[in-house]
Chains A and B, each alone.
Chain A
Amino acid sequence: MNNSPQFWIILRAIVILVASWGIASYDVSKSNLDWLASLIVPIVGGVGVYVWLMLSEKRQAIDWTKPISITQPFFPMSRYPIRYWLVAAISLTLGGSVALLKEIMESGQHPAFGATFLFLGIAILIAIGALMRMRSNKRPVST
């Protein structure tokens, strides 16, 4: 795998743009996501990501260093889970925001579609933040 910082910056940008564009450009008339979905899906998704990251914490194969670096690898997910889910959360938040704004400015028929992805992205960001906070609290104080 390419280890140059530029490669990972460009790959992040491409993945985020393509994934968020895919969400924002989805034909919402095919979606029946409702407000209940936009509430339940993010809660279960955020809790699921947090629980899985917590359970994976002691695994030796996982690289927990530099979790918010934009120059380090974020793939495969099993090796760089925080960096991977951070890219996923940004894609969801960005794509959901654009889809929601488009719906508000246009027909306003399916605002829950964009809201579901926006809230899911935010829930995953909260899960990552909570895990990083827990890890930093656990770190032994150096003397």
Chain B
Amino acid sequence: MGLWQFSISGGAGYGGQITFGNNGGQWNFGIHLGIGEGLSATLDTKDSECHSAGFEGNLKAEGQIGFGPNVDATSEVGPGGSSADVSVHVPGTALNLGVTDDNGKLRGVDTTFSFGESAFFGVGGTTYFAK
């Protein structure tokens, strides 16, 4: 069973974001289109919650900068809530220095693998498939 999510965001004036993954055995695929600058790709190997099957549309504003598993900063805003995280991971250790603010709730950070830098604002949605 895969538990992962891959996202690629960016643009050169017009922009877009594609995200897909398999979490808890449930596949999802999302696409957002709008305006964007730069390019970033993120692979998150941790599990996310399952959603009820169907389409969820939303607006999304996101900024991302990262280099590998070591440095990551993300900010995301949408009608469903907002999240932001800043983290530095010390290679060779399980040490993550940073914090995630998820709808006002602070928690520790998980390691994500991200490369590139991007800013994006767009509209779209994610389809969650039935298990």
What residues of chain A have their CB less than 8 Å away from a CB belonging to chain B?
Answer: 15, 18-23, 25-27, 30-34, 36-37, 40-41, 44-45, 48-49, 52, 55-56, 59, 76-78, 81, 84-85, 88, 91-92, 95, 113, 116-117, 120
Expressed in whole angstroms, the Cα–Cα distance for A95 and B47 within the complex equals 22
Q: Is B126 an interface residue when CB atoms closer than 8 A count as contact?
A: no
Interface residues on B, range: 20 to 34
Q: Is B37 an interface residue when CB atoms closer than 8 A count as contact?
A: yes
Given contacts A34-B2, A36-B2, A52-B39, 13 further A-B contacts (CB under 8 A): A18-B91, A19-B67, A19-B68, A21-B92, A32-B2, A33-B43, A34-B1, A78-B37, A88-B115, A92-B68, A92-B115, A113-B45, A120-B43
Stretch touching chain A among B5-13, B53-61, B74-82, B100-108? B5-13
Expressed in whole angstroms, the Cα–Cα distance for A56 and B116 within the complex equals 14
Q: Is B129 an interface residue when CB atoms closer than 8 A count as contact?
A: no
- Determine how close the nearest CB of chain B comes to the CB of A126; give it in whole angstroms: 15
The answer to whether A23 and B2 touch across the interface, beta carbons within 8 angstroms, is: no
The answer to whether A48 and B89 touch across the interface, beta carbons within 8 angstroms, is: no
Q: Is B123 an interface residue when CB atoms closer than 8 A count as contact?
A: no
Expressed in whole angstroms, the Cα–Cα distance for A37 and B3 within the complex equals 10
24 residue pairs bridging A and B, Cβ less than 8 Å apart: A15-B67, A19-B70, A20-B68, A22-B69, A23-B68, A23-B69, A25-B91, A27-B94, A31-B45, A32-B2, A32-B47, A33-B4, A33-B45, A40-B6, A40-B20, A56-B12, A59-B12, A77-B116, A81-B39, A85-B116, A91-B68, A92-B115, A117-B113, A120-B41
- Determine how close the nearest CB of chain A comes to the CB of B41; give it in whole angstroms: 5
The chain A residue sitting closest to B39, CB to CB, is A52
Given contacts A22-B68, A95-B68, is CB(A78)–CB(B2) below 8 Å? no
Contacts of A15 in B (CB 8 A): 67
- Determine how close the nearest CB of chain A comes to the CB of B1; give it in whole angstroms: 7
Partner of B69, one of A19, A44, A78, A85: A19
